[in-house]
Amino acid sequence: MESVWQGRAAAAFVLLSVLCNWMVGTGTAGWARVVGILAAFFVTVVLQHWRRLYVIAKVLPRDLRFVYIFLRSSALWKRFARDNETVVSIVERHAREAPGATCFLFEDQTWTYRDVNAYSNRVARAFQRAGVRRGDVVAVVLNNRIEYICLWLGLAKLGAITALINRNLTDTPLAHSINTAKAKVVIFDEEYAAAVQGVRADLGTAEGFYRFGAARGGSQEDWFIDLQPLVAAESEENPVVDFTPGHWDHLMYIYTSGTTGLPKASIVTHARTLFWPLGLFRVANMDPGRDVFYCSLPMYHAAGGAYAASLALAHRVPVAFAPKFSASKFWTDCARHNATIGHYIGELCRFLVLSPESPADKQHKVHTLVGNGLSPAVWRRLRDRFGVDKVIEFYGSTEGNVMLVNMDQKIGALGFIPQLLPRSLWPFELVQVDEESGEPVRDDHGHCVRCGRGEAGMLIGRVREESVQSQFVGYLDREASEKKVLRNAFGNGDKYFMSGDMAVMDEYGYIYFKDRIGDTFRWKGENVSTAEVETIMTRLLLTHGVREVAVYGVQVPGNEGRAGMAAIADPERRCDLGELAAGLKGKLPAYARPVFVRVADSLPMTGTHKVSKVELRRQGFDPATCPDPVFVSRGGTYEPLSEAVLTAIHEGKARL
């Protein structure tokens, strides 16, 4: 179609040129000749680029609004950096200027800025007395509660860094997470005491263990100290320290799935914590005097522990937290706290729309939902059933610099790239990748190949160290950080962050998620490392002589993300799947255990003698496409995938 219009443009230019020559020959006035030439040029440009100009005009209001929000946000980011602002300095200022204003809500509790700052000061003084100093790391394994946030805020006043540990972890992944951070102290809830005690002998740097809970009768066998009595005994005054926390200082470590097998600790600075919610604060037009933000996500997540908390701590929007997500209590909890904006992940929304209808569905004040991972089908049902006016989808990752926001509620889109900007100024790109290796494709000049409109590719973000929105601080593991950096992508010396996510962009600049590449997938709202699961399964299966295991994610109808599936090469059928299921239960959280197991004589291989996970994913779990016996996790074991269960899965009725 474009070539047709280019042909018409060329013909128009020839005709108008002839007209101009005729005007010259007939003695037409000079100004008229100039007008004729300009008209010829204008018509040619319009005809040749008419579609591009049409697109720019169509999305101009969207793009201008983006530019306005970006400029306002950038001004605030720069002021934060110029004034060396930290989460600590801002909270202390709020506690002075608006001590009685509501900061957090939790069940029947209301925490003001005075309360938050006072409790954080008690925490800081208690750990200062215990010997925690600037640069020390404290690992936290806790359930959602406001004290969780006050713990990392209080530790930040000492210059200490808090490692937010996934409370579902046990055994090797738990020990690895604590050791990776070189934690000096571990704080845990009573229900996680057994898990922490189980790995205590494997913790190399941990010296102190604190249970969060009421005091109990002590004994010489106790290996931990009760924290709350120590905190209660301290002063509410700001601690005395011999330094000033800095804008770029490390604030916390938040974990992501590791491609080499175990969780990686992402470095989160004060700057990043202040930056995270700012764009959505503007896009959702949040008003601290009007809005209440509701979050039921785990506080060890970046979304719950840093993003939502920062909305209140830094931007004065009251945040209501829930102990955990409950589909049956979500809307009643929102009504209880007078919430006007809710926080979601895609899987959470699926649970909401599948829950039984209730009068509470529309008996709330929530007008906007913000989050990520929402499928188009669930999007419509969520909006219509619960009477929500706006759904603002965004895209980002804990460590990454690729951040998108869907400002105008384009169903299914992650966000967009403004079409006003020339491609040379785009902060992100989509590049072609090799299907098997997941590595970017290079052309004859050694440069990456940009994707065209409608062509799927990996999202990469240009790294600029001087900018909080474009920098890539990375992980504690510097080697792992380097693996995420794409160098010399389009020119010598440039650097890009590789997201590992495949997406596609339409002609209007909207970007849509396609798939996740590499060795991780997402299930039940959590990232799963295939390498981690493979390592644990291999250890469990070695006793049966099974040495070849491949773990990957498969799409399941009606479910967000991908369900875990393991392919086992076991030609002699030595593996005891019941024993395997029991072993996995003790080693992995529920979301990381494979839902399906495929037992094969051998696994498909690539030309480079690696297991072809592309082929395994393509074959999936359905016997119609999978040539080997498939088993499904049910009742604590793995059972053969029956026709009845398969039908229930396809109809979205099976509980996986």
> What was the pLDDT predicted at 5?
47
- What residues are paired with 371 via a beta bridge? 344, 393
Q: pTM of the prediction?
A: 0.84
pLDDT tens figures, 96-122? 999 999 999 999 999 999 999 999 999
CATH of domain 113-269: 3.40.50.980
> What was the pLDDT predicted at 258?
52
> What was the pLDDT predicted at 410?
93
pLDDT at 48 over 70: no
Closest among 308, 505, 495, 317 to 404, alpha carbons compared: 505
* Average pLDDT score over residue span 64-82: 91
Closest among 130, 271, 269 to 207, alpha carbons compared: 130
pLDDT-based confidence at 51, cuts 50/70/90? confident
> What was the pLDDT predicted at 220?
43
Tokens of 208: 């102190």
- Give the range among 49-58, 59-68, 100-109, 467-476 with minimum mean pLDDT: 49-58
CA distance 257 to 588: 13
pLDDT tens figures, 595-619? 999 999 998 887 666 788 888 999 9
Q: Under CATH, what is the fold of the domain 417-511?
A: Luciferase; domain 3 (2.30.38)
pLDDT at 16 over 80: no
Tokens of 265: 């600790």
pLDDT tens figures, 321-334? 999 999 999 999 99
Query: Which residue type occupies 491?
Result: G
> What was the pLDDT predicted at 2?
45
Most confident of 49-53, 109-113, 304-308: 109-113
> What was the pLDDT predicted at 261?
59
pLDDT-based confidence at 40, cuts 50/70/90? low
153 Cα distance to chain centroid: 22
The kind and range of the H/E element at 598 are strand 596-600
* Average pLDDT score over residue span 66-94: 93
CA distance 433 to 449: 9
CA distance 101 to 98: 6
> What was the pLDDT predicted at 36?
60
Mean model confidence pLDDT for the chain:
89
Share of the chain above pLDDT 70, in %: 90
Region of residue 412 (left: phi > 0; alpha: psi -120 to 50; beta: else):
left
pLDDT tens figures, 351-393? 899 899 999 999 999 999 999 988 888 888 899 999 999 999 9
pLDDT tens figures, 618-631? 999 999 999 999 99
> What was the pLDDT predicted at 15?
53
Query: Would you say 245 and 156 are in contact if contact means Cβ atoms under 8 Å apart?
Result: yes
- Give the range among 135-139, 167-171, 292-296 with minimum mean pLDDT: 167-171
In the chain, where the domains are located: 2-48, 113-269, 417-511, 520-650
What top-level class would CATH report for the domain 520-650? alpha beta
> What was the pLDDT predicted at 612?
85
pLDDT tens figures, 532-581? 898 889 889 887 888 789 999 999 988 888 999 999 999 988 889 999 99
Query: Would you say 187 and 212 are in contact if contact means Cβ atoms under 8 Å apart?
Result: yes
Number of neighbours of residue 605 by Cβ within 10 angstroms: 11
pLDDT tens figures, 217-252? 554 458 999 999 999 999 999 999 999 899 999 999
> What was the pLDDT predicted at 607?
66
pLDDT at 140 over 90: yes
Share of the chain above pLDDT 90, in %: 63
Please give the DSSP secondary-structure letter assigned to residue 381: H
* Average pLDDT score over residue span 408-428: 88
